[in-house]
Amino acid sequence: MTPGLTIAVAARNAAATIARAIASCVPETHARLLLIDDHSTDDTVAIARSIAGHQLHVVSTPDPGGVSLARQTGLDVVETEFTAWLDADDEWVPGRADRLSAMLSDGYDVATEAIDLCDGATGGRLKQLTVPAFLRRPGAAVRLFERNVLPGDTQVAFRTDAYRAAGGYDTAIIGPESFDLLLRALRQGARIAFGDDAGYRMYAYPGSVSRQVDRQSAAIAATLRKHEYADIERLYSEAGYDERVTAWGLVSMALFRNEPLPALRFLAAASPDGADPEEVLEPEGPWPMREGWRGAFTRGTLLLMLGGRDREAEDELRRAESLEQTPEGANNLGVALARRGDDAAAREQFALAATRFRGYYDARLNAGADAPCRITTHPLRRAASRNDYR
């Protein structure tokens, strides 16, 4: 491999934004610039060439195949030791290439840092997405199997050979294709370095793939089903996590996989009889909530997912509400009540959920449905972050 970093941009009909993306990379004169064109029918390639000139290398996908195929096409042709992606509607901050390369040169396989989230329509900065402190603990990257808490999984830089050795991009997965490959790299021992700078501007648009919640959920389930529970349990143990934290990680993984029966088995170890309901296992971790509420909410949610046990689910979710009033607790209780035929009480719960969390996606859909069925499987994020429910 040639020393250095390639900034790779996958694009299809991105004429409206490609100029900003490519122009932001031109100052990175020590990095190579690669455009993978997925058979655009507009002026995407011509605009990119007019801005970057000889700096830009352009390749095309074999067939119009979407972003996953475009990423794999790029991974196949990169010649440098390191690679980093820039989405065609986002922006690179000059100086980022040197920072990411320095982290990777220290022996890491993946490098990431903060991201500035911006509004696609106005360009205004919304907030900064930072790396959670708990991820910086040695071995803590395994926590990504229970929830993706990175500022962005596509926006990392990586050792090119490490991603190739992990199998490359799965062209059947659309949306979390980068998360899928990152998890497979972690399974093979990849190490992640974390920086504090914000060298990437991500522009949020209403129609972006990450906001298509149902499709994202199905793709995340397919991604996690590639990994055996026993293997992930071993990774937690090797990272030094105790039995309960590990069990909660497996509960979360099973929930994302839409597998309630394994999740209930793991929950017995995560939330055993006699556990202190006021305890917060990891105040600075990914799930900083009291164990009494967490256990009741999760058990009630799993019983809802199983079906046929709606009265038990209602009892658990009422217990969760008695311990802490939350939007997700009210929403799921509303689903249980609707299944039991108490439509008026169900509507009250959906209204409560929407009041507690403005813009709550599941509650909004349930409130307008004849047969409410939107179950929120995981506690909503308590920390400021991107949130698919908004």
Q: For residue 210, tell me if it sits in a domain.
A: no
- pTM value? 0.93
* Number of other residues whose CB lies within 10 A of the CB of residue 1: 11
Q: Are residues 25 and 97 in the same domain?
A: yes
Domain match, 201 and 233 both? no
Which segments of the chain have a pLDDT < 50? 384-390
Q: What is the pLDDT of residue 215?
A: 87
What is the Cα–Cα distance from 91 to 17, expressed in whole angstroms? 9
> What CATH code is carried by the domain that includes residue 256?
1.25.40.10
Question: Which domain does 17 fall in, by range?
Answer: 2-205
Residue 333 belongs to some domain of the structure: yes
* 282 token code pair: 């990891």
- Between CA 30 and CA 20 the distance in angstroms is 19
Beta bridge mates, 33: 7, 56
Is residue 308 one of the residues assigned to a domain? yes
- Give start and end residues of each alpha helix (H) in 225-326: 229-238, 243-256, 260-270, 291-306, 310-323
CATH of the domain at 107: 3.90.550.10
153 shares its domain with 89 = yes
Q: Does residue 382 belong to any structural domain of this protein? A: no
Of 134, 135, 112, 137, residue with least CA distance to 198: 112
- Collapse the DSSP code of 113 into the 3-class scheme (helix H, G, I; strand E, B; otherwise coil) and give the result: strand
Give one word for 66, left, alpha or beta, with left for phi > 0 and alpha for psi -120 to 50.
left
**Which pLDDT belongs to residue 386?**
41
Q: Give the CA distances from residue 82 to residues 40, 131, 151, 156, 306, in Å, rounded to whole numbers and listed in that order.
A: 27, 21, 20, 11, 45
Answer whether residue 294 is part of any domain: yes
CB of 221 within 8 A of CB of 183?
no
Same domain, 200 and 237: no
Sign of CA dihedral 172, 178, 180, 182: positive
- The secondary structure of 323-379 as a DSSP string is H---HHHHHHHHHHHHHTT-HHHHHHHHHHHHHHSTT-HHHHHHHT-SS------SP
Helix, strand, or coil (residue 100): helix
Residues 86 and 181 in one domain: yes
Q: Tell me whether residue 221 is in a domain.
A: no
CA torsion, ordered 148, 154, 159, 163, to nearest 10 deg: 80
Where does a domain end: 154, 171, 205? 205
- Pure H helices in 133-173: 160-165
- pLDDT given for residue 3 in this prediction: 95
Do 180 and 133 share a structural domain?
Answer: yes
One domain for residues 240 and 196: no
383 located within any domain: no
Beta carbons of 5 and 80 less than 8 angstroms apart:
yes
pLDDT of residue 381: 80
Helix (H, G, I), strand (E, B) or coil at 178: helix
Residues 177 and 238 in one domain: no
Into how many domains does the chain fold?
2
Per-residue tokens: 257: 């996989």
Look at residue 363 and tell me if it is in a domain: yes
Give one DSSP letter per residue of 26-43, joined into a string.
TT-TTSEEEEEE---SSS
Contacts of 207 (CB under 8 A, 6+ apart): none
Same domain, 13 and 59: yes
Please list the residues that pair with 9 across neighbouring strands.
Answer: 35
Spatial neighbors of 184 by CB under 8 A, at least 6 apart, are 166, 167, 226
Q: Do 195 and 266 reside in the same domain of the chain?
A: no
Strand partners for 192: 110
Domain stop point among 205, 238, 273 = 205
Query: What is the total residue count of the chain?
Result: 390
Model pLDDT, residue 206: 78
* Beta-strand pair 32-37/2-11: parallel
pLDDT of residue 385: 43
329 shares its domain with 201: no
Question: Which single residue is written with the structure tokens 């993946």?
Answer: 110
Clarify whether residues 95 and 191 are in a common domain.
yes
